Amino acid sequence: MRKATKLLMLLVVLALLAAACGGEDDEATPDTLPETTAAPAETTAAPAETTAAPAETTAAPAGISCAEPVTVGVITDQSGALAIYGSHINRGVPIGFAYATGSDVQGDGLSAPEQTYMLEDCEIRVIFKDDQSNAELSATAARELIEVEGAQIIIGSVSSGVTATLQEIARENNVILVAAPAAATDLTGSTFDPNTFRASRSNYQDGMAICDQFVNNDGYKTFVQIAPDYSFGYGGAQAYEDACTYFGGEFLQETVFAPADTTDFTSYMTPLAESGADAFLVTWAGGGFVPLLQAAIDLSVINEDTVLGSPFVDNVVMPAFFGNAVGTTSVILYHFGAPSNPANDYLIANQAAVGGTNPDLFDADGMNAAMMVVEALKATGGAADADSLKAALEGLSFEGPKGLLEIRAEDHMAIQDMYVVTLTGFDDAGPLYENVATVRPEPPCLLEGEYTARCGDLPVGSLGG
């Protein structure tokens, strides 16, 4: 059984390479390997039907008012290399504001770049900006939103590096940053700032989920890995090392780090050649993913004895990358058919109505980010100053499209469900999955320096503390 699984995963890699050779644009290839662990929860039901009608939205509680509109800036990639993921946020955010305020969805952030929602007697003004995953453009957009438009809250962005820039601007201007969907652990770790909160998971949660699946369910015990030589890669590598080791795995060699713009991976793969490891873990983003895998195959880093370790990805890329892997089980951070709750039903129905597609990998993050803003304003009675919002957001919990989302007070991590699913096939709308388990990774507290004391009773620095 195990040998067959490994051969199947090898076919996945070959399918990916064949698709790339056929002229597919690989610029928006996701960073396909996460870094977080968690014990599987009870098995969930099969994926829900995607035709569910919008759930009933609840009226806002009495007593919410604001003298001036609350302005929220949404900064994401609309036209750059990661626009495929920015579109998820541009779709999910308006659906989240509509659901949480009992309003109508006003289109996506491209068709309606400025929107208004009423939360009882408080007007919420939402303005969308394009940063092309460029830190300089993102900084310009953030300063314009804060200084010209009066934004008190920023949501963004796709790129972890760009989001680090937004984090600094939010700190300097004492406004709130809701990070979505950037996954780098630093945002709620080494660069933590009290004004920054996550709506999306971190790559530590990714690593925990996949390491638990690999070690405890698939029986993979030995690992090697490669990661890009910047913050996202460091955080991913640390999470995999901690999580896979914590669950009983072993790393046969030190992590290999390569520059993010690498196109020839031969020298980086050579130290990993014929390692004999059960799994080759990859944290990467962008067009380098295809030549990386080609080098891994050429040098037998991936072979009949060593599988590629990767979670499932977005609906658009899945047919090309995993078209020959029907029957494979892996981890995914969100798929529209996995959760069963009113918020997810609403997301599915409205995404079909507004965008003509099913929700994709990060649509739920966009919806959750908007719901976080509204739930915080409900708690403050409409006050949007940073101190009031921080007090409301720390420890906030609500039922979003992925079920219960909990903002951990200590480090502002977003504790949320992720999913173990089996790929059962494809239709015109994309991949089809059968649910195996719902997992809920709770990573260690990664705060450093003066903020370490905030960790309290949480494990600090690693799962074992």
Residue 457 in any domain: the answer is no
Verify that 310 and 374 share a domain, yes or no: no
Backbone dihedral angles phi then psi of residue 307, each to the nearest 5 degrees: -90, 160
Residue 9 in any domain: the answer is yes
The model's pLDDT over 277-320, given as tens digits with 9 standing for 90+, comes to 999 998 886 667 778 988 998 999 988 889 888 788 899 888 87
The sheet carrying 329-332 orders its strands as 329-332, 418-427, 430-439
Q: Locate 285 and state its tokens.
A: 């983003």
**Structural domain tally of the chain?**
2
What is the average pLDDT value for the chain, to the nearest integer?
87
Res 316: pLDDT: 86
Q: Which residues contact 319 (CB under 8 A, 6 or more apart)?
A: 426, 430, 431
The model's pLDDT over 397-448, given as tens digits with 9 standing for 90+, comes to 999 999 999 999 999 999 999 999 999 999 988 899 999 999 999 999 999 9
Verify that 141 and 233 share a domain, yes or no: no
Verify that 35 and 154 share a domain, yes or no: no
Q: What is the mean pLDDT of residues 165-170?
A: 98
Residue 93 in any domain: the answer is yes
Residue 423 in any domain: the answer is no
CA–CA gap between residue 453 and residue 436 (Å, rounded): 38
Verify that 148 and 79 share a domain, yes or no: yes
Percent of the chain clearing pLDDT 90 (strictly above): 72
CB contact at 8 A, 187 and 446: no
Q: Compute the Cα dihedral for 247, 249, 250, 253 and give only its sign.
A: negative
Q: What is the mean pLDDT of residues 255-271?
A: 95
Q: Compute the Cα dihedral for 103, 107, 110, 112 and give only its sign.
A: negative
- Amino acid identity, position 56: E
Instruction: Using only the alpha carbons of the chain, give its radius of gyration.
Output: 21
CB contact at 8 A, 215 and 37: no
pTM: 0.86
- pLDDT reading at 22 higher than 80: no
Verify that 10 and 28 share a domain, yes or no: yes
Res 163: pLDDT: 96
Residue 344 in any domain: the answer is yes
Which residues form the domain of 268? 2-40+204-315
DSSP string computed for 390-434: HHHHTT-EEEETTEEEEE-TTT--EE--EEEEEEEEEETTEEEEE
CB contact at 8 A, 156 and 180: yes
Which of 400, 416, 432 lies at the terminal end of a domain, its last residue? 416
Q: Compute the Cα dihedral for 31, 37, 40, 41 and give only its sign.
A: negative
DSSP state of 25: -
Residue-wise over 365-398: b if at least 16 C-beta within 10 A, else e?
A: bbbbbbbbbbbbbbbbbbbbebebbbebbbebeb
CA–CA gap between residue 336 and residue 318 (Å, rounded): 14
Total length of the chain: 465
Verify that 227 and 191 share a domain, yes or no: no
- Amino acid identity, position 359: P
Verify that 268 and 378 share a domain, yes or no: no
Verify that 79 and 121 share a domain, yes or no: yes
Verify that 305 and 373 share a domain, yes or no: no
Q: How buried is residue 219: exposed, middle or buried, by Cβ count under 10 Å (0-12/13-18/19+)?
A: exposed
Local confidence band at 1 (pLDDT 50, 70, 90 cut-offs): very low
Query: ∠ at Cα 437 (433, 441), nearest 5°?
Result: 120
Q: Which residues contact 462 (CB under 8 A, 6 or more apart)?
A: 242, 246, 444
